[in-house]
Amino acid sequence: MSLDRLVLWRHGETDYNASGRLQGHLDSALTETGRQQARRAAPLIARFAPDTAVSSDLNRARTTAEAFVEVSGASVRLDKRLRETHLGEWQGLSGAEVEHGWPGALETWRSSPTWAPPGGETRVEVAERAAEVVEELDHQHQGTALLCAHGGLITALTAKLVGLPLELWPGLGGIGNCHWVLLKRRSDTHWRLMAYNAGVPAEN
């Protein structure tokens, strides 16, 4: 058995996103805008017809995944390995507060996937735990798998699966709320990037 497609779907806007604060493992909730984003994106996600679906156990991802369940009737399993990057002492702080307490550290973190915030984890570590989920699904399912997760995790996992050298990881941009990444299998160990930061077309 093996998968041939992966859809990596980021959660909708949260109260922390709206206020510009770092979340990490904090269990923030979707705003009404975030719920609307999930409802609008869910039918497009359902068109991928995933054979299996797994979500981060954090509330913002679970609630987003529920919008997919409502339109597809599929079931979604929870896995804490799909949680966002643990940001240690930075969790709950704004970018300005982090810069005040740790001058220059935000830029170091953004530019180096092997550097961790104090008490937190590196992007490499995040990618490794997420890749474990993909590997297990690969042995259990065929077809398409949907992972409902978080922006930092999705970016790191994408970089790892397509085989980017570490120094190129920062070249991948962020993932918008309720946007997704589509990967197709290229070989036993690597994937081909087919769509990145794709989203619902803007309403006129």
Which tens digits make up the pLDDT trace of 163-198?
Answer: 999 999 999 999 999 999 999 998 877 899 999 999
pLDDT of 187? 81
Supply the mean pLDDT for the chain.
Answer: 95
Annotated catalytic residue: which of 11, 86, 150, 179?
Answer: 11
CB 185 within 8 A of CB 4: yes
pTM higher than the cut 0.85 = yes
| Residue 150 bears catalytic tag | no
Q: Domain 3-198: which topology?
A: Rossmann fold (3.40.50)
pLDDT digits (tens, 9 = 90+) for 9-56: 999 999 999 999 999 999 999 999 999 999 999 999 999 999 999 999
The binding site for substrate consists of 10-17, 60
The Cα-based distances of 9 to 63, 88, 91, 166, 196 in angstroms read: 12, 24, 22, 23, 10
The full 3-state SS of 83-130, as one line of letters, equals CCCCCHHHCCCEHHHHHHHCCCHHHHHHHCCCCCCCCCCCHHHHHHHH
Q: How far apart are the first and last CA of the chain?
A: 43
The binding site consists of 10-17, 60
| Residue 84 bears catalytic tag | yes
In the chain, domain spans? 3-198
Residues 72-89: what's their mean pLDDT? 97
CB 196 within 8 A of CB 158: yes
In 3D, which of 65, 91, 68 has the Cα closest to residue 79? 65
Q: For residue 203, name the pLDDT band (cuts at 50, 70, 90).
A: low
Annotated catalytic residue: which of 84, 86, 150, 179?
Answer: 84
Q: For residue 204, name the pLDDT band (cuts at 50, 70, 90).
A: very low
